[in-house]
Chains A and B, each alone.
Chain A
């Protein structure tokens, strides 16, 4: 009987379990779960604070998931080393679990830079886990002044999640642009204005030079008082366990399309990996849930002796912020096509005769048609792009292509 070990118990792990079980119904699966919870929807922790989900509904799979998949889960245990020479994962209690194939599904950990005086702040949090959300739920009350460092996806979702609970929420960001990794200047402005209308305060283009308990002294000299501090300055792939295994790493774990690292038998999936962005051809960390699930699934199938590849990785995101939907995909290179109103924004990026990326705020209907064009590298010359750029519709596809797609008679 084959022995599988999965390190981490997030989305990639869930995909891996389902992937293994689609091939091997009886092998022994052990999941090492640092968190004491079964797999939950990490992106929903801000929705939890808003009261839009609860501890039951936030589960990614039903409560009987591990039983149904006959997995052993070691809750509250952390893997500290992979002894690949012995095919064992060593745990923080000194025990070891043997494997025939192991999957690193450790995700990405919040990155907290060193700030002078940070350790004098009594109530400081990160925002990447359910326990973080539960702790913030306790710490934040109607009179709390919350300061969030970082205006990326996590920082802004945290601001939204806390806005109904806290007295005031201020987001401070080094870059003058919010969501700077996925928005350009104009689109970022649209989102910022919308958030400001909903009561979020921004301090942009500023950094904290030091903390003094409940005050942040800013680079410009101002001081900001706060009761609760959240650092949301990005996440880093958690790949330290690959040291000594022979597996190659960049910023994240490097794998082939089967999700196996250069160390045979060691697989990696999810936020801890780096893969090639199909829209730009460049390697990057794409820390998003769809990739984590699909990579995990592919890893699981291959670990169990089946065959599945994960290709066509694409950075993409869809998020709501106070009711405004922000969708982005691909890379922002080449010529642009832009439509703008007071509340909506759409910009398509076109290069080499291909749609490369888009930013859509507001009217997001059927945006998946654009996403598919980027992913499948559909030449824009093969479709009625004049029509398509205005409205995402398969009606702009030539009949042959559309009928094939919809299974109709050609």
Chain B
């Protein structure tokens, strides 16, 4: 399947992907209105190491441990995509406890938000990929399944 991959050598650590993600998922059409002066809850996060930075979002695992661990039946696999039903999530953080990538975090209302590849929002393709100034984030099929 196609996944989002990040080339750490090219990642500038600019955090633009976080803003693009939060904006794409805000449902608003004005970026300033959506993000300015507000805490943002992106579904992709830049990890800043000492010498490196790279963005992390859901890997859409073939065998996702978050789905199997969700105590609310809110996470599920829909085709190749791991989805969350925000209406069922109770914000217990069990998925945060089990995800080895650190790819889930709560949204503004305390329920979990995760990358769903911009399938449902107006962007139509991963906004982080589209807006990455150095093309460090790509959406492609690689060797493994």
Contacts and interface: CB of A to CB of B under 8 A. Distances in A.
Interface string A114-137: 000000000000000000000000
B71 interface: yes
Contacts of B3: 407
A248 interface: no
A318 B94 contact: yes
A325 interface: yes
Contacts of A371: 97-98, 100
B52 A399 contact: yes
B93 A408 contact: no
A258 interface: no
A347 interface: no
A60 interface: yes
Interface string B48-81: 1110111010010000010011011100000000
Contacts of B56: 394, 406
Contacts of B100: 368-369, 371-372, 405
A318 B93 contact: yes
A395 B52 contact: yes
Interface residues of A, number: 46
A327 B97 contact: yes
Interface residues of B, number: 40
A396 B50 CA distance: 9
B5 interface: yes
Contact of B73 (A59, A325, A395): A59
Contact of B71 (A289, A294, A325): A289
B102 A43 contact: no
A293 B48 CA distance: 35
Interface stretch (A174-182, A349-357, A359-367): A359-367
B40 interface: no
B52 A320 contact: no
B90 interface: yes
A407 B144 contact: yes
Given A41-B72, A372-B100, A406 B6 contact: yes
Interface in A309-346: 316-320, 325, 327, 329
B34 interface: no
A41 B70 CA distance: 9
A409 interface: yes
Given A365-B102, A395-B49, A408-B7, A41 B96 contact: no
B92 interface: yes
B125 interface: no
Interface string A44-81: 10010000110001011100000000000000000000
Contacts of A145: none
Contact of A294 (B54, B68, B99): B68
Contacts of A406: 5-6, 54, 56, 59, 101
Contacts of A325: 93
Contacts of A387: 49-50
B107 interface: no
Most A CB atoms within 10 A — which of B49, B56, B68, B71? Answer: B71
A297 interface: yes
Contact of A394 (B68, B92, B98, B101): B101
| Complex A-B, nearest 8 residue pairs according to Cβ-Cβ distance, in ascending order | A366-B102, A395-B49, A372-B100, A290-B69, A368-B99, A318-B97, A43-B71, A60-B73
14 contacts: A43-B71, A53-B90, A57-B87, A59-B73, A317-B97, A320-B91, A364-B93, A365-B102, A367-B97, A395-B50, A399-B52, A406-B56, A407-B3, A408-B5
Interface of B: 3, 5-8, 47-50, 52-54, 56, 59, 65, 68-69, 71-73, 87-88, 90-102, 104-105, 142-144
